[in-house]
């Protein structure tokens, strides 16, 4: 039994005021599901969020570097995250890969350094639209994981986030069948390449346009997107979500509760 996991990736959004409001909303929200919840505000706000957020919700950085300290202006040390009491880091987000040159190898090295520093890692992988349309999806995500396998042996503190690039920020959520197919393949890869135990215990979460809309506005009826999201959550190999835009809104609580 894998605990349902929901991450909120704020990306480079928010202000002191708006993030403080999000924290208040989350602190007052009715979390009814036994979901592990982690939010990733921009690094500037990590400490203040950590101090104010309810104890059921952990905080995460959005990136960290491959070295503990030194002359690396502008980078974030995983050891300093650990020192500051930040337990999680997102590594390999597609925006890091496409905009900031994080290669499969660098992502793997960042994962290793973060784990060695004592952090838990949300490791992001996923294919572009072009790769999907040329039937390379499974090959791409397996190659991204294989690079990590070359660097680490202990997967205990890793959550894998499957985020198809074409679904991120586009409003185009994957179908439950598309998500399940890839998650199943990833679990198969873990079983074959790492071991049956790791395959059974590792959370594989889905990211890309996950949203609830506001079901209150719609009365008793769930929004169309949220129905799709709940169908994804019900798939046997889907263990949660990594949420971008909707994690900045009150509907994030409904997504947290979607696993029950």
**Could you give the residue numbers annotated as active site?**
93, 163
The span from the first CA to the last CA of the chain, in angstroms, equals 13
Residue nearest to ligand 13P (CB): 244
* Separation of CA 128 from chain center: 17
Stretch that binds ligand 13P, among 45-53, 150-158, 198-206, 244-252 (CB under 6 A): 244-252
For the bound state, the minimum distance from the C-beta of residue 61 to ligand 13P, rounded and expressed in Å, comes to 13
Q: How far apart are CA 28 and CA 47, in angstroms?
A: 20
Single residue of 244, 249, 258, 259 touching ligand 13P by CB under 6 A: 244
Instruction: Give per-residue burial for 212-249: e unless 16+ CB within 10 Å, then b.
Output: bbeeeeeeeebbebbebbbbbbebebbbbbbbbbbbbb
For the bound state, the minimum distance from the C-beta of residue 6 to ligand 13P, rounded and expressed in Å, comes to 11
Pair 79, 66: CB distance under 8 Å = no
For the bound state, the minimum distance from the C-beta of residue 207 to ligand 13P, rounded and expressed in Å, comes to 4
Of residues 93-132, those binding ligand 13P (CB under 6 A): 93
Give Dmax (Cα) for the chain: 56
Q: Which is nearer to ligand 13P, 14 or 208 (CB)?
A: 208
Q: How far apart are CA 47 and CA 42, in angstroms?
A: 10
- Per-residue tokens: 211: 């949203």
243 binds ligand 13P (CB under 6 A): yes
Q: Which is nearer to ligand 13P, 108 or 243 (CB)?
A: 243
Dihedral sign (CA 119, 35, 191, 187): negative
Q: Which is nearer to ligand 13P, 188 or 250 (CB)?
A: 250
Considering CB under 6 A, how many residues would be counted as binding ligand 13P?
14
- Per-residue tokens: 222: 């769930």
* Site pattern 188..227 for ligand 13P (x: CB under 6 A): -------------------xxxx-----------------
Single residue of 119, 242, 255, 256 touching ligand 13P by CB under 6 A: 242
Beta bridge partners of 250: none
Single residue of 168, 229, 232, 233 touching ligand 13P by CB under 6 A: 168
Beta bridge partners of 235: none
Pair 237, 187: CB distance under 8 Å = yes
Beta bridge partners of 59: 39
Single residue of 9, 35, 77, 180 touching ligand 13P by CB under 6 A: 9
Three-class DSSP category at 205: strand
Of residues 38-97, those binding ligand 13P (CB under 6 A): 93
Name the residues that contact ligand 13P, by CB under 6 A. Answer: 9, 93, 163, 168-169, 207-210, 242-246
């Amino acid at each position: 039994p894998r605990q349902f996991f929901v991450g909120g990736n704020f990306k480079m959004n928010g202000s002191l005021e708006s993030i403080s409001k999000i924290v208040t909303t989350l602190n007052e929200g009715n979390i009814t599901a036994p979901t592990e919840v982690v939010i990733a505000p921009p690094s500037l706000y990590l400490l203040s969020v950590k101090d104010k957020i309810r104890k059921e919700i952990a905080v995460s950085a959005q990136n960290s570097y491959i070295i503990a300290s030194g002359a690396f202006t502008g980078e974030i040390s995983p050891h300093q995250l650990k020192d500051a009491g930040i337990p999680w880091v997102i590594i390999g987000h597609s925006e890091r890969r496409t905009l900031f040159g994080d290669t499969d190898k660098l992502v793997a090295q960042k994962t290793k350094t973060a784990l060695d520093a004592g952090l838990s890692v949300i490791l992001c992988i996923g294919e572009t639209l072009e790769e999907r349309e040329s039937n390379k999806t499974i090959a791409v995500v397996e190659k991204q994981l294989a690079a990590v396998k070359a660097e680490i042996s202990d997967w205990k503190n890793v959550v894998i986030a499957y985020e198809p690039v074409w679904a991120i920020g586009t409003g185009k959520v994957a179908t439950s069948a598309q998500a399940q197919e890839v998650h199943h393949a990833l679990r198969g890869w873990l079983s074959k390449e790492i071991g049956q135990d790791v395959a059974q215990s590792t959370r594989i979460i889905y990211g890309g346009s996950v949203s609830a809309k506001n079901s209150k506005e719609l009365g008793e009826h769930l929004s169309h997107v949220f129905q799709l999201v709940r169908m994804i959550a019900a798939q046997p190999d889907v263990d949660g979500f990594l949420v971008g835009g909707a994690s900045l809104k009150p509907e994030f609580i409904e997504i947290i509760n979607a696993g029950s």
